[in-house]
Amino acid sequence: MWEFWRSRLSKGKSRHRGRGTGSDAESPNTARSAELPAAEAELLASQFPENSTHVYFKDVILPASDDSDDESESASMSQSEGADVSCLGMRGELRKVSVKRRRQKVDRQKLIIILVGLPGRGKTFLCNKLMCYLNWLGHETRHFNVGQYRRKQKGDAGVQDASFFDHSNPEGVQAREKALYAALDDMEAWLATDDAQVAIFDATNSTEERRHLLKSRFHLKWQYLFIESICHDPQVLEQNYRHKMLYSPDYQNVDTEAALLDFKERIRKYEEVYETITDRSLHYIKLIDMVTGRGYLDVNRISGYIPGKMVFFLMQVCKAGVTRMRKIWLTRHGESEYNMKALIGGDSLLSPRGEVYAKVLPDALVDRVPLTSDGQTMPVSVWTSTLKRTIQTAEHLPFPKLRWKVLDEIHAGVFDGMTYEEIERKMPEEFAARKRDKLRYRYPSGESYMDVIQRLEPVIIEIERERECVCVVAHQAILRALYGYFTKVPLAEIPRLEIPLHTLIELVPKPDGRMAEERIAFDLEHDLQAMVRGLNVGSDVATPMTPFTPMVGLEREQSAASGFASQGKTSNVHRSLSGRNLTALGSVALPQLGASAGASLTG
């Protein structure tokens, strides 16, 4: 009898296994079809045209081409010219069948994120947050902003005011299309490299025509999805507009009010042709008023590991809102007994110097808590590890505290309690391996920095969704990973970041998703001597560190973001709470699970 073998090498080919050899052996199918009445045979033959792309075996209809890999795209997939293969006809004869073959496979290791939305709707915020998150997790991500290409090709010639963005301005349309294709060419060239994984294509992409152009260009080459940001809140929009005027290259050396009027006119030009995404055949995430912290998501045809993580991440990031003023503090525990002996790991207590830091830290921190819009002190929660030295460091802070097991120091495995000199002497191979690749090196029976980053992801999610201030008292490796996320430090540089003892790092989120940073160093010598003599420990020991060298990918500032100048007020009553008067705050209540004080994930 005849058998049809469905494999990539024998697809569409028939194999004869009847008695006899070659083509002289009579097929049972041929004999059976010959016994059919002529009218019935003609009817059956008419149901299976010569150009059929299926093979019929017994009672089963088999496709000549296996489309299981891309069944969701089969309806719109472009195809190349067919190739003729032999298959079995209904009357038993071998005939030629035209089989359509796919032009090429989709590269499912690459993803393009296409941003959609009017100016001032939070696209830059979403882009910067996704860049931080995906790169931090190890997915190489790059940003391609069409506006940067437009400004680059303009140079110093010409003014790109609101009239430039008028859809009826042919010169403006031509210039913007030139910038579009330049950005697309660079993005596709980067995606062709081995390390590239996620590209963020940042433009308004505000019409169906533009989105269709992008879809046709990326189709059957890479995975792609759209993220549209919509905002209807006038107050949030006004704040976004004013902040954009502070850093937009389009309005450098332009009066703020004049720039604001021109920018609003530009938006009106875009609104004349703007079309929201309505095509349910597209893969998209639509954020409606999410940047206000009170909106919702419309998720359509999203699947896969990275797209799924993005949906969850955006839900948490947008919960806190874009314009809410808050601060994030990072500090190592005070000097410990193991620090004095240069030992790694362990669960030692604080040294006398570390105890001094624990006593002076509340004064500096309380003085820096911002006020809400109604003049109230913003709530603060303190997160520590489960190790003694961080718990001791935070014990004098007058805020709710919780302990996270995931904030424990990197596990040194069999090297716990040893010095690096001892490790180099006893196990030089391990010492050299760690020196070669500190990011991925895993201590024997311990952890690597990549392991630490993976277990810290829940902490990042909880900090991002917080509406209040958070102070994290943890360890060097832990704070390196957290600091690297918030400041967009390249993954390979995280294990070598400088996080000194007795230094408070203050991060202020900006509306565009970046961080303004200030470091406050503590001089403990005076108070250490006072403690030795049995005197009271003073509070005037915290001084800003200047100058501070910026890290890669972060705009550092020695003050809070200028866009928050009107909001970032500090309470004058905080000084009355410092020193011995900290008890005026009353008892400290533990935060509830899921409340804004932080998830109560005590380890």
The CATH number linked to 133 is 3.40.50.300
pLDDT (tens digit per residue) in 478-489: 999 999 999 999
Nearest residue to 215 via CA among 172, 166, 277, 272: 277
Q: How does residue 292 score in pLDDT terms, banded at 50, 70 and 90?
A: confident
Residue 333 annotated as lining a ligand binding site? yes
Planar angle of CA 500, 505, 506, nearest 5 degrees: 175
229, 283, 359, 506 from 296: Cα distances, Å: 11, 17, 44, 31
Residue 594 lies in a domain: no
Query: Within the chain, how many helices (H) and strands (E) appear?
Result: 17, 19
Which tops the pLDDT comparison, 223 or 596? 223
Q: How does residue 545 score in pLDDT terms, banded at 50, 70 and 90?
A: low
Residue 389 annotated as lining a ligand binding site? yes
Long-range contacts of 448-454 (CB under 8 A, 24+ apart): 449/410, 449/477, 449/480, 449/481, 449/494, 449/495, 450/138, 451/410, 452/410, 452/477, 452/478, 452/481, 453/136, 453/137, 453/138, 453/481, 453/491, 453/494
Cβ proximity of 12 and 55 under 8 Å: yes
What is the structure's pLDDT at 567?
Answer: 42
CA dist., res. 51 & res. 391, Å (int): 76
Please tell me whether residues 258 and 200 are part of one structural domain.
yes
Backbone angles phi, psi at 178, to 5 degrees: -60, -45
Backbone angles phi, psi at 568, to 5 degrees: -80, 55
Q: How does residue 323 score in pLDDT terms, banded at 50, 70 and 90?
A: low
* Both structure tokens of 256: 């703020």
For the segment 333-347, the average pLDDT, to the nearest whole number, is 97
* pLDDT-wise least confident of 396-410, 520-534, 576-590: 576-590
Nearest residue to 491 via CA among 505, 506, 480: 480
Check whether 89 has a pLDDT greater than 60. no
Judge if pTM exceeds 0.85. Answer: no
What is the structure's pLDDT at 331?
Answer: 99
Residue 427 lies in a domain: yes
Check whether 73 has a pLDDT greater than 80. no
Q: Which residues are catalytic?
A: 333, 409
pLDDT above 90 covers a percentage of the chain that reads: 59
Please tell me whether residues 244 and 371 are part of one structural domain.
no
Which tops the pLDDT comparison, 565 or 46? 46
Please tell me whether residues 488 and 340 are part of one structural domain.
yes
Residue 336 annotated as lining a ligand binding site? yes
What is the structure's pLDDT at 557?
Answer: 38
48, 386, 408, 448, 475 from 346: Cα distances, Å: 76, 12, 10, 17, 12
Planar angle of CA 357, 359, 365, nearest 5 degrees: 85
Please tell me whether residues 267 and 174 are part of one structural domain.
yes
Check whether 536 has a pLDDT greater than 50. yes
Check whether 126 has a pLDDT greater than 80. yes
In three-state secondary structure terms, 460 is helix
Residue 591 lies in a domain: no
pLDDT (tens digit per residue) in 137-179: 999 999 999 999 999 988 765 568 999 999 999 999 999 999 9
Which tops the pLDDT comparison, 337 or 235? 337
Residue 405 lies in a domain: yes
Torsion of CA 531, 537, 538, 543, to 10 degrees: 70
The chain-wide mean pLDDT, for the chain, equals 79
Please tell me whether residues 292 and 410 are part of one structural domain.
no
What is the structure's pLDDT at 160?
Answer: 83
What is the structure's pLDDT at 3?
Answer: 39
CA dist., res. 347 & res. 356, Å (int): 19
Residue 599 lies in a domain: no
Residue 595 lies in a domain: no
Residue 240 lies in a domain: yes
Residue 130: CB atoms within 10 A of its CB come to 23
Check whether 384 has a pLDDT greater than 80. yes
CA dist., res. 224 & res. 310, Å (int): 13
Q: What is the 3-state secondary structure (H, E, C) of 386-428?
A: CCHHHHHHHCCCCCCEEECHHHCCCCCHHHCCCCHHHHHHHCH
The reply to whether omega before 547 is within 30° of 0 (cis) is: yes
Query: Where in the sequence is the domain holding 356, given as residue range(s)?
Result: 328-585
Mutual orientation of helices 123-136 and 305-317 as an angle, nearest 10°?
130
Count up the domains in the chain and report the number: 3
Residue 332 annotated as lining a ligand binding site? yes
Please tell me whether residues 92 and 116 are part of one structural domain.
no
Greatest CA separation for the chain: 116
Please tell me whether residues 154 and 268 are part of one structural domain.
yes
Cα–chain-centroid distance for residue 284? 16
For the segment 556-571, the average pLDDT, to the nearest whole number, is 39
CATH number of the domain at 393, please: 3.40.50.1240
For the segment 7-18, the average pLDDT, to the nearest whole number, is 44
Strands 469-474 and 503-509: unpaired
Cβ proximity of 142 and 117 under 8 Å: no
Please tell me whether residues 339 and 482 are part of one structural domain.
yes
Positive or negative, the Cα torsion across 306, 312, 316, 319? positive
Q: What is the DSSP string of 135-164?
A: HHTT--EEEEEHHHHHHHHHTTSS---GGG
Instruction: Identify residue 201 by its one-letter amino acid code.
Output: F
Q: How does residue 1 score in pLDDT terms, banded at 50, 70 and 90?
A: very low
Residue 207: CB atoms within 10 A of its CB come to 15
pLDDT (tens digit per residue) in 402-449: 999 999 999 999 999 999 999 999 999 999 999 999 999 999 999 999
The residue among 65, 99, 133 that closes a domain is 99
The residue among 320, 350, 372 that closes a domain is 320
The residue among 299, 320, 341 that closes a domain is 320
Which tops the pLDDT comparison, 412 or 579? 412
Residue 592 lies in a domain: no
pLDDT (tens digit per residue) in 263-273: 999 999 999 99
Please tell me whether residues 380 and 277 are part of one structural domain.
no
Please tell me whether residues 380 and 257 are part of one structural domain.
no
Which tops the pLDDT comparison, 430 or 49? 430
Cα–chain-centroid distance for residue 576? 41
Positive or negative, the Cα torsion across 187, 189, 195, 197? positive
Check whether 322 has a pLDDT greater than 70. no
Long-range contacts of 5-13 (CB under 8 A, 24+ apart): 6/62, 6/66, 8/66, 11/64, 11/65, 11/66, 11/85, 11/99, 12/55, 12/64, 12/65, 12/85, 12/86, 12/87, 12/97, 12/99, 13/85, 13/86, 13/87
Residue 335 annotated as lining a ligand binding site? yes
Ramachandran assignment for 163, one of left (phi > 0), alpha (psi -120 to 50 degrees), beta (any other): alpha
* Both structure tokens of 569: 């007020």
Q: How does residue 104 score in pLDDT terms, banded at 50, 70 and 90?
A: low
CA dist., res. 589 & res. 400, Å (int): 6
Please tell me whether residues 303 and 398 are part of one structural domain.
no
What is the structure's pLDDT at 372?
Answer: 86
Please tell me whether residues 515 and 575 are part of one structural domain.
yes
Name the E strands within 296-342: 296-300, 328-332
